[in-house]
RNA sequence: GUGAGAGUAGCUCAACCGGCUAGAGCACCAGACUGUGGAUCUGGGGGUUGGGGGUUCGAGUCCCCUCUCUCACCCCA
């Protein structure tokens, strides 16, 4: 006999057994529902693209992380590392068919060849939503509402949406004469939450080569804390004279005013001048969402505004704004917070297979329940009652229906509520109602 | 990709300084119980100690390589 092949998965790639895939699919379902409720339309693109489409779009780091190879036809191809770049290509090709503004959501796996950590994988699902073709701040503001609805729909209550505006940061850099070093300065600044003031200062001084006073002014701004109104006021005092910063502040002010007036609870939105986002293509509002109880896992929903999504592929100017929900990271977080249920029956009703030659009767009952909108499964073997109930209990079924010789002869069923100890005899004609009462109760 | 730590049954862990046939709890399967789940009792299957090589009379234990996980760098969902 040939030796067995060791069953295993690649580093950073994972299986999703039912207890993981079930909550995962639920996250996706809920996300879809929220996106659609805002009018976003679904779309998808291929996993594989010509390498030239993807190269150089997310900075040199993403190039290194690209899964890239030659296909059987000798084409230079690569797996997408995010959904934004393929969307840019898509928009350049198809936007004329939809017109602007165009709102879409896009759910699919992406691949990055980086070292995995908790909540970081080489294959993971992103869940993007974007509005392109408008520069209106209304679209930026809507993003906040979407993120809020999204996390609430997923059962999360303790989170904060950190918002900043690149123009405010650019204004500061302009004032300091550092506009040409924006990328490296912002990249250093973005680490504030992780390495603190000293860490950022160190990097600004040694790596970027800033003067002590320059680094200090940047950090002083980043460290402004308080309510959104307080932050706006303080930044206004220090940077209000700069045209760019003033424009960014105006956007943030409107975002704050509108979200409040439209009913978003106080405290959800926090202005955080240290949020810069590493990706080079952001130009306006930027967002990151942190779970209060699990800040270490990183942002679970991030995004921002970009001036010109598709400039590399078309001359048409396509500004856009959107964000991406990190489904697998969020799932890891929810697992850690014990927000994923342990039992996982997809159909709440188990019909016991009792009398071997009455399979048709059980199947017919199952069909009837399903048509009445209740998931039902028939146990596949006429095993001991004890075993079948034990199965139902383990899987988390809500109701077991038992029909032995006696019940079948009388045209009744035993309906067992598995959460309690209650069992009742129900006439065949009333079975749907009886089961529904338990499921709703 | 670089650096650090870890890996023993499906899971959580034990095994003295390198020394007998690598153990326990939970989980799983079967039975006690041929019409009633979660409990209890009894029994059972499971391991090349992640994989490979080396040192040694002898390796789960020491050394090297490799794989995977965790953490940090980097970057990010």
| Average pLDDT of the segment spanning A400-428 | 93
CATH of the domain at A432: 3.40.50.800
Q: Is residue A205 part of a domain?
A: yes
- As a whole-number percent, the residues of chain A with pLDDT over 90 amount to 55
User: ipTM of the predicted structure?
Assistant: 0.83
| Average pLDDT of the segment spanning A400-417 | 94
Chain B bases closer than 7 angstroms to a protein Cβ: 1-3, 28, 30-31, 33-38, 67-77
Same domain, yes or no, for A222 and A361? no
Same domain, yes or no, for A355 and A250? no
Find the Å distance, CA of residue A239 to C1' of nucleotide B53.
65
pLDDT of residue A1: 39
pLDDT of residue A3: 56
Same domain, yes or no, for A248 and A105? yes
Find the Å distance, CA of residue A198 to C1' of nucleotide B23.
51
Q: In the listed set A336, A359, A375, which residue is the last one of a domain according to the structure?
A: A336
Same domain, yes or no, for A29 and A110? yes
CA dist A6 → A9, A10, A419 (Å): 10, 12, 41
pLDDT of residue A366: 97
Burial group, residue A439, by CB count within 10 angstroms (0-12, 13-18, 19+): middle
| Average pLDDT of the segment spanning A61-86 | 89
Q: Is residue A377 part of a domain?
A: yes
A125: nearest nucleotide, CA–C1' criterion: B77
Q: Is residue A82 part of a domain?
A: yes
User: Average pLDDT, whole number, for chain A?
Assistant: 89
A3: nearest nucleotide, CA–C1' criterion: B48
Same domain, yes or no, for A359 and A326? no
Q: In the listed set A303, A336, A369, which residue is the last one of a domain according to the structure?
A: A336
Q: Is residue A341 part of a domain?
A: no
pLDDT tens digits for range A202-248? 888 888 888 888 888 888 888 888 899 999 999 999 999 999 999 99
A409: nearest nucleotide, CA–C1' criterion: B35
A6 has a pLDDT exceeding 90:
no
Find the Å distance, CA of residue A279 to C1' of nucleotide B4.
29
Find the Å distance, CA of residue A333 to C1' of nucleotide B62.
39
pLDDT tens digits for range A319-330? 999 999 988 888
Same domain, yes or no, for A332 and A387? no
| Average pLDDT of the segment spanning A90-117 | 92
A121 has a pLDDT exceeding 80:
yes
pLDDT tens digits for range A32-47? 999 999 999 999 999 9
Same domain, yes or no, for A210 and A128? yes
Question: Band of the pLDDT at A399, cuts 50, 70, 90?
Answer: very high
| Average pLDDT of the segment spanning A326-344 | 77
Same domain, yes or no, for A245 and A370? no
Q: In the listed set A279, A307, A336, which residue is the last one of a domain according to the structure?
A: A336
A187: nearest nucleotide, CA–C1' criterion: B75
Same domain, yes or no, for A286 and A386? no
More confident residue, A22 or A29: A29
Find the Å distance, CA of residue A4 to C1' of nucleotide B44.
26
Q: Is residue A343 part of a domain?
A: no
| Average pLDDT of the segment spanning A335-352 | 79
d(CA A105, CA A34) in angstroms, rounded, equals 10
| Average pLDDT of the segment spanning A36-62 | 88
Find the Å distance, CA of residue A365 to C1' of nucleotide B20.
62
Q: Is residue A3 part of a domain?
A: no
Write out the residue range of the structural domain in which residue A356 sits.
Answer: 349-440
If one counts the domains in chain A, the total is 2
Q: Look up residue A404 and give its two tokens.
A: 């032995």
Same domain, yes or no, for A228 and A116? yes
CATH of the domain at A317: 3.30.930.10
């Amino acid at each position: 006999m040939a030796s067995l092949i060791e069953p295993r998965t690649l580093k950073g790639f994972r299986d999703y057994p039912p207890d993981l895939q079930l909550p995962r699919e639920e996250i996706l379902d809920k996300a879809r529902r929220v996106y659609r409720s805002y009018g976003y339309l679904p779309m998808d693109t291929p996993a594989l693209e010509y390498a030239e489409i993807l190269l150089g779009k997310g900075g040199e780091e993403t190039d290194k992380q690209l899964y890239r190879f030659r296909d059987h036809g000798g084409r230079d191809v690569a797996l997408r590392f995010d959904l934004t770049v393929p969307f840019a290509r898509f928009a350049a090709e198809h936007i004329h068919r939809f017109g602007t503004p165009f709102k879409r959501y896009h759910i699919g796996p992406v691949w990055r060849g980086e070292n995995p950590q908790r909540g970081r994988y080489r294959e993971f699902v992103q869940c993007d939503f974007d509005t392109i073709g408008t520069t209106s701040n209304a679209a930026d503001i809507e993003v906040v509402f979407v993120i809020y609805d999204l996390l609430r729909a997923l059962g999360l209550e303790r989170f904060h949406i950190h918002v900043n505006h690149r123009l405010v940061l650019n204004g500061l850099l302009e004032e300091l004469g550092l506009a040409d070093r924006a990328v490296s300065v912002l990249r250093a600044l973005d680490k504030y939450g992780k390495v603190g003031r000293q860490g950022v200062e160190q990097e600004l001084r040694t790596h970027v080569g800033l003067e002590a006073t320059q680094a200090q002014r940047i950090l002083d701004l980043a460290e402004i804390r308080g309510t959104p109104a307080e932050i706006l006021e303080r930044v206004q005092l220090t940077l209000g004279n700069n045209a760019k910063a003033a424009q960014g502040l105006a956007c943030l002010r409107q975002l704050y005013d509108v979200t409040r007036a439209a009913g978003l609870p106080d405290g959800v939105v926090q202005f955080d001048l240290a949020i810069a986002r590493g990706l080079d293509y952001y130009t306006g509002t930027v967002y990151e969402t942190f779970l209060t109880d699990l800040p270490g896992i990183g942002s679970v929903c991030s995004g921002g505004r970009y001036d010109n999504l598709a400039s590399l592929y078309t001359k048409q100017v396509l500004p856009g704004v959107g964000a991406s929900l990190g489904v697998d990271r969020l799932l890891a977080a929810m697992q850690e917070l014990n927000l994923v249920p342990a039992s996982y029956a997809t159909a709440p009703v188990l019909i016991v297979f009792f009398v071997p030659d009455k399979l048709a009767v059980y199947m017919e009952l199952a069909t009837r329940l399903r048509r009445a909108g209740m998931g039902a499964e028939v146990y596949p073997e006429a095993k001991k009652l004890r075993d079948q109930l034990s199965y139902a209990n383990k899987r988390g079924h809500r109701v077991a229906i038992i029909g032995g010789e006696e019940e079948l002869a009388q045209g009744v069923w035993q309906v067992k509520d598995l959460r309690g100890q209650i069992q009742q005899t129900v006439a065949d004609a009333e079975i749907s109602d009886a089961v529904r009462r338990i499921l709703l109760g």
